[in-house]
A and B are shown apart, each in its own frame.
Chain A
Amino acid sequence: MAWTWFHRLASPPHVYALAARLTPWFAWPAALCIAAGLWGGLVLAPPDYQQGDGFRILYVHAPSAWMSLMVYMTMAIAAAIGLIWRMKVAHAVAASCAPIGASFTFAALVTGALWGEPMWGTYWEWDPRLTSELVLLFLYLGYMGLRAGIEDPQRADRASAVLAIVGVVNVPIIHYSVTWWNSLHQAPSVMRLAKPAMPFVMVAPLLLMLLGFTLLFVALLLTRLRSEVLARERSASWIREVVSA
């Protein structure tokens, strides 16, 4: 029983159809959650007693940062599955993740910089989180660059899979080393939001945004997955029906 489900997931036509069906079920709830999160974060939540209205950047910065990491993990796991079990669909998932992850890493960096200037007086800080995030962006760009540089699609899939897995091993190491380095060079001026536990009216929009972004990721992934699956199926007959639809 479980094997049937697994085997179906490996079948491109089935995955294509499934992705098409599922996308709206993620896209609309995502839009709803994000809209609600925006409303809650911008309007309903009261200003922070330390950072005033500036803290509201949290509602876009934290979800973006969350996306950058979650998408990378998804990409690495999909790449590993594709490499180990030789599943084209898994490689397609990994390929779909990269542009999404890279763009949200960029968003996390920019929103982080915009948050940093009023709060710590500088657009950029070589603090562990920002620095690791920058490195993550380079990992994404390297992954996409490697894919773009290799012409044979199968080789591109597998080489970038190796890279993604090597990167995953490195992310904790990089983060640890930057944290360690930062602890040596910085005065302990680590950013902390208002020390007393955040009231629910401030936390709720954050949770909504995190959920909304996650749902959005799935919707985007499913859409891109369909493109990737199509590109990998050169002459399969199932494409005929799909394309003429």
Chain B
Amino acid sequence: MKAFFDMGGYAAFVWPAYAVTLAVIGLNIVSARRALARAREQARRRLQIQGEAR
């Protein structure tokens, strides 16, 4: 188990590399979903304003 985390001595490079990549993936997912929620909210508000304007 320790050998696994040690990565043959390259731990200081391998793990940050994986961390950064997984972080990028995670941020992409979160950001995409948030953008969709925001877009839906804005669309809803726009419709509301238009509905009131009539």
Chain B nearest CB from A42 CB (Å) reads 8
Show 7 residue pairs from A and B whose CB-CB distance is below 8 angstroms, ordered by the A residue.
A53-B8, A54-B10, A60-B20, A117-B13, A216-B25, A230-B39, A233-B43
Number of B residues, CB within 8 Å of A: 32
Which A residues lie within 8 Å of B4 (CB)? Answer: 42-43
Which B residues lie within 8 Å of A227 (CB)? Answer: 32, 35-36, 38-39
State the total of A-B contacts with C-beta under 8 angstroms: 103
CA distance A72 to B32 in the complex (A): 18
Interface positions of A (Cβ within 8 A of B): 34, 38, 42-43, 47, 52-54, 56-57, 60-61, 64, 99-100, 103-104, 106-107, 110-111, 114-115, 117-118, 216, 220, 223-224, 226-228, 230-231, 233-235, 239-240, 242-244
Are A110 and B17 touching (Cβ within 8 A)? yes
Which A residues lie within 8 Å of B40 (CB)? Answer: 230, 242-243
Contact of A103 among B27, B42, B44 (CB under 8 A): B27
Which A residues lie within 8 Å of B33 (CB)? Answer: 223
Contact of B10 among A52, A107, A239 (CB under 8 A): A52
